[in-house]
Amino acid sequence: MILVGALEVLASDWIIQGDSRWVLADREKGLQILGTRDEFIRQLSPFDRAARLDSDAPVDEARLLSFIEAQALEWSTAEVDRMRESTAEIARSLSRWKLPFPKQIHLVKSSGLEEAHAAYTRGESVILPVAKLNIPRGALERLLLHELFHVLSRANPKMRDELYGAIGFKKSAPLEPPPSYRSRQMTNPDAPVIEHWIAVEHQGTTVKVMPSLIARTETYSRARGWGFFEYLDFKLWVMDESGGQWKAKMLEDQPVRLSPEQVSGYFEQIGRNTRYIIHPEEILADQFVMLIQGANKPASPEALRKMEMILRRHP
């Protein structure tokens, strides 16, 4: 096992771009990062907490945080070498850019149990589960770039809102779902707050919608045997605005929720460069990868051009 001090010195030489650096987090630092009560933790619903602990019983925040932080792991020597190679390639790809990354971005290794073995971000950190560390190198570099965008976006809210606007999304007050739906919201750590809407056409009328995720069932059940992502139900919530508050439009005591196929104007604004369309943050993260690595014949080149123009304006 590499010593803590050696990790810090080694990782300090891992350039992202300019004076921004990757810092490989040892387990102690990983515990601190994963155990932070940040916006993501505050937004988690009862369903979120139970599903992450694979529990039929309610899970409180303290128990959840204890579980999450316990998933931090040490890096092996082989993993350090692999991450060094991948981050070096990313640095080469970013060499022609000048982007406002944080000075340090931590890389945390986790068991993956806390987030269904998906890579994700918290604050200025990228969390990589064990399951992702041995994927093909090209796939790992794309994954790191995707997550790197989330950190960049979070650190630069003005730029983020401008990028969202380029694909049709406008900032608003956060979504307030009905209580029965709030309890089953499924929260994305890369975009925990739903606070951007997009105008689309539905049955000849312009409506404002927010993309949101809820669980397909009211409660989590181990007996169903479903994986975390099998519960996901993605829809566009039709919104009503009143007094600066954004609430779901109700019809017969149920929120009006539409699939992208039920409306017109959604894909016309967000483009068709990715199928990861659950939130503007994810759409843009995939486009960021394409932009940095050089996409070959993208489906919506204009969306990439707009994104590049905005990124070039925010050194």
CB neighbour list of residue 116: distance below 8 Å, 6 or more residues apart: 52, 227, 228, 229
Residue 163 near residue 111 (C-beta atoms within 8 A)? no
**73 vs 43: CA distance, rounded Å:** 25
User: How would you write 68-130 as a 3-class SS string?
Assistant: HHCCEECCCHHHHHHHHHHHHHHHHHHCCCCCCCCCEEEEEEECCHHHCCCCEEECCEEEEEH
Confidence at residue 246, expressed as pLDDT on a 0 to 100 scale: 80
Looking at the whole model, is its pTM more than 0.85?
yes
Average pLDDT score, the chain: 94
Task: Supply the pLDDT for residue 148.
Answer: 99
pLDDT for 297: 92
Cα separation, 300 vs 139, whole angstroms: 22
Mean pLDDT of 278-284: 98
Domains of the chain by residue range:
4-155, 160-312
**Cα–Cα dist 275/24, whole Å:** 31
**Tally of CB atoms within 10 A around 229:** 10
- Per the document, the length of the chain is 315
Q: Per residue in 81-127, pLDDT tens?
A: 999 999 999 999 999 999 999 999 999 999 999 999 999 999 999 99
Residue 3 has pLDDT above 60, yes or no: no
What are the helix (H) ranges across the chain? 4-11, 27-34, 39-43, 46-52, 61-69, 77-94, 137-155, 157-166, 179-182, 266-270, 280-293, 301-312
| Mean of pLDDT values over 241-249 | 82
* Residue pLDDT, tens place only, 159-198: 999 999 999 999 999 988 888 899 999 999 999 999 999 9
- C-alpha 141/C-alpha 69 separation (Å) is 25
Tell which wins on pLDDT, 180 or 302.
302
Closest by CA to 75, choosing from 26, 145, 8, 126, is 26
